[in-house]
Amino acid sequence: MSSEASHSEKVSILVVDDDTLMAASLKQGLETTGRYHVYTLSEASSVMETARRIQPALILLDLLLPECSSLQVHNQLAADPEVAGIPVIFLSGLVEEPRGIYPLPTRNVQGVASMSKPVNLHALIGAIEAELRISSREPAGSTA
């Protein structure tokens, strides 16, 4: 009936996490909703090329990556005009907040939020949808 339309309207999300079980869990949980198509990466070195190629609507980025700082990855994304407008949500097992989501002090770049791990799927979906609404209303580089 409308499966073709809903398939073409799925939002692409890129999950970058060296914990492959966490990445697989996020992929399964998000794709089960039927609203998202999720790509996963376990290495920071592939983020730029993959983001340029698939142009995800949003990136979920593990805060602690073994190869390099996720803040470096974020800054590389923000500096590249091809992918600069893609919102990023950092995921971290280091901090627990009662509400699960809090801002990171990262130069006031649009679309930057973070969530504690383990991730509550319902809260993550809410954060994803909020970031997508913000990014669809504000042009990249906006300081509204």
pLDDT tens string 50-87: 999 999 999 999 988 888 888 889 889 999 999 999 99
Q: Please report the DSSP string for 10-39 in residue order.
A: PEEEEEE-S-HHHHHHHHHHHHHTTSEEEE
- Cβ neighbours, 10 Å, residue 51: 23
pLDDT tens string 5-43: 445 689 999 999 999 999 999 999 999 999 999 999 999
pLDDT at 117: 84
Q: Which two tokens stand for residue 96?
A: 């627990």
Work out the average pLDDT over 118-124.
92
Give me Rg for the CA atoms of the chain: 14
Report residue 112's pLDDT band, with 50, 70 and 90 as the boundaries: low
Q: What is the pTM of this model?
A: 0.80
Phi-psi label, residue 59: left if phi above 0, alpha if psi -120 to 50, beta otherwise: beta
pLDDT at 108: 42
83 CB-side CA count, 13 A: 22
pLDDT at 127: 92
Element (H, E) at 40: strand 36-41
Helix extents (H) in 20-98 = 20-32, 47-54, 70-79
pLDDT for 104 beyond 60: no
In whole angstroms, give the CA distance from residue 78 to residue 91. 18
- Cβ neighbours, 10 Å, residue 137: 9
Domains belonging to the chain, first-starting first, are 3-137 (3.40.50.2300)
pLDDT at 124: 95
